[in-house]
Structure 1
Amino acid sequence: MRTYLITLVGLLFVLFSYAAAYDPLDPNGNITIKWDVMSWTPDGYVAVVTMNNFQMYRHIMSPGWTLGWTWAKKEVIWTMIGAQATEQGDCSKFKGNIPHCCKKTPTVVDMLPGVPYNQQFTNCCKGGVLASWGQDPQSSVSAFQVSVGQAGTTNKTVKLPKNFTLLGPGPGYTCSPAKIVPPTKFFTADLRRKTQALMTWNVTCTYSQFVAQKHPKCCVSLSTFYNETITSCPSCACGCENKHKCIKSDSKLLSMVGVNTPRKDNAPLLQCTQHMCPVRIHWHVKLNYKEYWRVKITLTNFNYRVNYTQWTLVAQHPNLNNVTQVFSFDYKPLVPYQSINDTGMFYGMKFYNDLLMEAGPAGNVQSEVLLQKDKDTFTLKQGWAFPRKVYFNGDECMLPPPDTYPYLPNFAHQNLVAFSTLFCSIFLILLVLF
């Protein structure tokens, strides 16, 4: 009975993890790892490994991706171009020519920019940073070349690696088993001849916020022009485990050398706030015109150790199908369903505001959005003007409870205030005159 319960719990956990990995706003988003065997060697093969980030708004930021797997036999890595294994392992049985890596479970990372030309490979050497497909398709690819020994020299003797893992730069990705697919075809430089790989297999890795962390990484606050109330992020929206380690914005510790240096374990150094989130998104309903309305969006970084490069912000709102103009951000509509166009991605302009600086005076970026009203649905009542979902860098942010949203003042109440103000003004004038 106990064994049955353990099995059932394990099965439910796996099913829940896969369900959490499915993103309805990006249903086809994944990172595909492709191995193309390009040539045979006396004891193995030379392969090109390519990583394509097909996620629309989730990228891999610095310190970059880390790829791992388990060899099926006693394979070794003789050489690598464009990447390197983090550990060599025990290569003592080899004499003379020593392999690059002898570990059963190698861990591979990208090379940093600026490495010597003879160590570079096409689409390599970006420090492991992968842009999202929706933001910058040309920068969403990473590749390296690997020479594998003791591996078999035919399609029938080569065994596929197992247990692929992808970190980027933290947990969250779950990878499928390797699967043999039709060999990749290539065109020569003059586009007159087509060649193909000797053997190709794919691995698909999907992201789950549930696997990545137990708390959100961001929260949303709200305000409007018609109400002085500001709806703050929920208390401890991102967990309060780091509350005893947070630093006040006026602390003298911030002047210490090295306080902003990122740590290998990616531990944050947060500014003390009620919500304790690394990032806050503020949505402000700014103006209401006859045919348009205007929203101001502000992103604030409360992490003293992280600069968010190539950040993305995704919002879901029914009126995003009528975006007229976006000021100082780039914008791209996302259409996960053909019949619904209510989701859009905001991201920074290159060399202007695509870097969200660490916490401090410069740790925010902002823009305004002009939207044309949909006369059938537009209203300022019951929180309609606020977003339904918000994602930062692909992670869903915590929104305040709907019953705390800034309310629309009662029309009769407004008239009463205006009438009483007018009565007092007339009374004062009469006092002056008489």
Structure 2
Amino acid sequence: MPITGSTMPPCGAPFSHYATLLPLLFALFPAFLLAPSYGYDVLDPNGNITIKWDVTSWTGDGYVATVTMYNYQQYRHVESPGWILGWRWQRKEVIWSMVGAQATLQGDCSKFHSAVPHCCLRNPSIVDLLPGVPYNSQVANCCRGGVLTSWGQDPANAVSSFQISVGLSGNTNTSVKVPKNFTLQTPGPGYSCGPAKTVKPTLFNSGDGRRKTQALMTWSLVCTYSEVMAHRAQPCCVSFSSFYNETIVPCPACACGCENKDTCYETAPLKTVTSGSNTGVTPQAILPKIHCTKDMCPVRLHWHVKQNYKDYWRVKLTISNRNYAQNYSQWNAVVQHPNFDNLTEVFSFTYKSLNPYGDAINDTAMLWGIKYYNDLLMQAGEEGNVQSEILFQKDRNTFSFTEGWAFPLKVYFNGDSCVLPSPDAYPRLPNGARPVKVETSMVVLLSLMVAAFLGFLW
């Protein structure tokens, strides 16, 4: 079957496909200049983690509050070992007790005798409790080991809460000092938190839902993520192949690090374990744990243009885990490609459309595994991959196999962007020729006709 389509710039969608974005971009340009760019994600412009403190009661020397974290990011999880929330008290506040979370250090509480606080540090660090704690140590949305799913994938598990009893703080709206210098680690750096600001008190539903109560005082803050601030190597890369070219375009060399036989493994690492009289081998659990490759990426996504039909074309997406020590539970991948506007079927992944530019353009898809089937991406080995096929309907106005159009513009894995090959290396059509646009042919033909007519008059 002949492969046809319009010519376009390398590694990009046709200009007309994004023409409707120009007014929006011009309108937002001043905002880009004023807003901090390090926390901006073009595919999830409103993504953040919002933290709310709701004071629910006053005590003799302080208050009791419920602290709730909402992961409003569409595709970025907070993975194990979970979040660590910190702040700085403005006075000499102490944490008398906590339910659903705990401080990592108690600090010096030697001046207290009859009752010893849970934490006396000026800069406490708080972590979620692990699953399975006694019921009287739990509150709603606690005790998941600090793991938060993304809002777009699983909003029910994108919320985490704990209760805190604060002393030596004042016990009125005017005497309480809001904590400052909030920090959020998940589990490493990458998030920056703005100042906490007093907001309209939160409303709560009563048990029967017929009466609403409100917090005595509420303050809120927003934390945003930046890969630049995370200061870490790229976590994933993308490779390409197609049915019309035998070339397999690998991930760029050193995409996530450079290969070193002393710091990676050709096969699963082994160690000798002695237990009594039994000696055997088990997978090694010390760094490094990555399979040796030229790109040294823990995760590789492979986009294969598999088949071409008259009105449809098919892609196979394979995600491979090369880490010998980590499983990716509830993984997700985000792919930007103009033909997602004409998606027909995704065969063995769950699919959700993302509209970062509004309803005008639908070119971004979020993909993740089906629960109890392939939602767990196993560590490196025979089962360390998941795959699905994607069927697209052709849009005759934009569809093309030329100039790399069939390959994605951006790919994310678990919220972090992946390194793509250079556009110069993309698989080319067999003849290597660029089809002439009909519009260009018409211009040439009209030019010849005008020249002939003028020559006749002359």
User: Which bin holds the TM-score, normalised by the shorter protein?
Assistant: 0.7 to 0.9
1:279 aligns with 2:279: no
**1:327 corresponds to:** 347
What does 1:235-314 correspond to in 2, within 5 Å?
235-240=253-258, 244-249=262-267, 252-253=270-271, 256-257=281-282, 259-260=284-285, 269-314=289-334
Matches within 5 A, 1:15-414: 18-240=36-258, 244-249=262-267, 252-253=270-271, 256-257=281-282, 259-260=284-285, 269-338=289-358, 339-410=360-431
Q: Distance in 2 between matches of 1:224 and 1:247?
A: 29
Deviations 1:60-108 (A, max 9, x none): 1111111111111101001000001111111100002111111111111
- Answer yes or no: is the 8 Å Cα contact 2:149–2:158 preserved in 1: yes
DSSP-derived class of the 1:244 partner: coil
Residue in structure 2 matched with residue 12 of structure 1 by the alignment: none
Counting matched residue pairs gives: 393
Go from structure 1 to structure 2 and tell me whether the alpha carbon gap of 1:277 and 1:17 turns closer, same or farther (over 3 Å shift): farther
Deviation at 1:309, TM superposition (A): 1.2
- Aligned pair in 2 of structure 1 residues 230, 61: CA closer, same or farther (>3 Å)? same
SS at match of 2:357: coil
Residue 18 of structure 1 deviates from its aligned partner by: 3.0
Residue 216 of structure 1, CA deviation: 1.3
Name structure 2 gaps, 5 residues minimum.
1-32, 273-279, 434-458
> Deviation string for 1:209-265 (max 9, x for gaps)?
11112431110000001111100000000122876311112655598436247xxxx
Give the structure-1-normalised TM-score: 0.88
* Kept in 2: contact 1:326–1:368 (CA 8 A): yes
Q: Is the 8 A contact 2:271 2:282 kept in 1?
A: no
Counterpart-to-counterpart distance in 2, 1:182 and 1:284 = 51
For residue 298 of structure 2, what is the amino acid of its counterpart? P
Residue 119 of structure 1 aligns to which amino acid in structure 2?
S
* Counterparts in 2 of 1:358 and 1:336: CA distance versus 1, 3 Å: same
Query: Is the 1:243–1:276 Cα contact (8 Å) retained in structure 2?
Result: no
Mapped contact 1:45–1:148 kept (Cα < 8 A)? yes
Q: Give a deviation string over 1:180-208, Cα, whole Å, max 9, x none.
A: 10000111011111110000000100000
Counterparts in 2 of 1:374 and 1:109: CA distance versus 1, 3 Å: same
Distance in 1 between residues matched to 2:222 and 2:281, nearest whole Å: 43
**Deviation, structure 1 residue 169:** 1.4
User: What's the RMSD between the two structures over aligned residues?
Assistant: 1.8
Q: TM-score, normalised by structure 2?
A: 0.83
Q: Which amino acid letter does the alignment assign opposite residue 46 of structure 1?
A: V
Q: Match of 1:351, as an amino acid? A: Y
**What's 1:416 paired with?**
none
Whichever residue aligns with residue 294 of structure 1, its letter is: R
1:345 and 1:243 map into 2 onto residues whose CA distance is 35
- Amino acid in structure 2 at the alignment position of 1:315: V
* Partner AA of 1:379 in structure 2: S
Question: Which residue of the partner structure matches residue 5 of structure 2?
Answer: none
The answer (yes or no) to whether the contact 2:270–2:282 under 8 Å persists in 1 is no
Instruction: Label 1:215 to 1:192 Cα distance change in 2 as closer, same or farther (>3 A).
Output: same
Asked whether the 8 Å contact 2:270–2:283 carries over to 1, the reply is no
- Secondary structure in structure 2 of the residue aligned to 1:382: helix
Post-superposition offset of 1:328: 1.0
When residues 271 and 411 of structure 1 are mapped into structure 2, their CA distance, relative to the original with a 3 A threshold, is closer
Distance 1:217 1:241 in 2: 15
CA gap of 1:96–1:258, structure 2 versus 1, over 3 A, is farther
Structure 1 stretch displaced more, 304-313 or 202-211 = 304-313
Contact 1:110 1:124 in 2 (8 A): yes
Q: Secondary structure at the match of 1:403?
A: helix
Assess, with a 3 A threshold, how the Cα gap between structure 1 residues 314 and 242 changes in structure 2: closer, same or farther: farther
Equivalent residue number for residue 421 of structure 1: none
Partners of 1:316 and 1:388 within 8 A in 2: yes
In structure 1, distance between residues paired with 2:52 and 2:252: 42
